[in-house]
Amino acid sequence: MFAGEIKELWRYPLKGLRGESLRSAVVDFDGLAGDRLFGVFEPGSDKAVWGGSHPKLMGWEAAWPAQCGCADAVSGEPVLYEPGGAAWGADEAGLPERLAETVDAEKGVEIRKVKRDYGRMLVVFEASVRKLSEQLGRDIDAMRFRPNVIVDADLEPFAETALEPGLAIRLGEHEFTLQKPCERCVLPSWDPNGANVRDKDLHKHIITELGNHFGVYVRISEPVTIKVGDAIAA
């Protein structure tokens, strides 16, 4: 049906912030190890402070302390980096105040672990990113879609979202299951680097021309390791 290879791997320790590039990663029932384990919330509530409501969040980065690009680099608390480069431990006392100040969160913020029933991994195809850029007449950064995996495969642009759920997809030596296309929220329309600039034409195009889908979710039950350069096939 198609074949190709993994070009990039990404994880986002803190939802809403930019993430870190990896060379390899462990994936299991909970998703990609260390991915989206923490969230930003209004103090004392379950109301999320996220990139769609506070786009300046994406000016911050989050990474696990051992930034070696290794699959086993998830331990302790993540480190957050301000737009200017200053580093904060996720449990530092002054971090919530500083983060709220820089992202215009007037009610303040708190960082805590998120609850999830199971994990899933978002795969984006380079051919679709290239075609989307062509359709809009400008380069579209794949990071707008916050993928875990970017692949280059011999599949027609956007065809991945029409694949049948339940399809077996091999990443490296491991068989994943296609769960469903990714239904997009407003987030891809905001600058992925925290510039607080919105591309409304992109948002409209995704809704009207692509059925509001971009990328696909896959999952696996047992722990496996995938790497940049691994083959992908279905």
Which of 82, 113, 144 is the endpoint of a domain? 113
In a shared domain, residues 109 and 132: no
In a shared domain, residues 133 and 93: no
Which of 113, 138, 160 is the endpoint of a domain? 113
46, two tokens: 């379950």
> How far is 125 from 234, CA to CA, in rounded Å?
14
Specify burial of residue 44 (Cβ count, 10 A radius: 0-12, 13-18, 19+): exposed
In a shared domain, residues 157 and 229: yes
**What is the chain's pLDDT, residue by residue, as a tens digit (234 residues)?**
999 999 999 999 999 999 999 999 999 999 999 999 999 999 999 999 999 999 999 999 999 976 555 555 677 789 999 998 999 999 999 999 999 999 999 999 999 999 877 789 999 999 999 999 999 999 999 999 999 999 999 999 999 999 999 999 999 999 999 999 999 999 999 999 999 999 999 999 999 999 999 999 999 999 999 999 999 999
Residue 131 amino acid letter: K
In a shared domain, residues 61 and 102: yes
In a shared domain, residues 131 and 207: yes
In a shared domain, residues 122 and 229: yes
CATH number for the domain harbouring residue 227: 2.40.33.20
| Residue 73 φ/ψ, nearest 5 degrees | -90, 15
pLDDT at 67: 55
> How far is 215 from 132, CA to CA, in rounded Å?
12
Domain that holds residue 182: 3-12+118-233
Number of domains in the chain: 2
> CA–CA distance from 223 to each of 26, 70, 109, 220 (Å)?
7, 15, 33, 8
Within a 10 A sphere around the Cβ of 156, how many other Cβ atoms?
Answer: 13
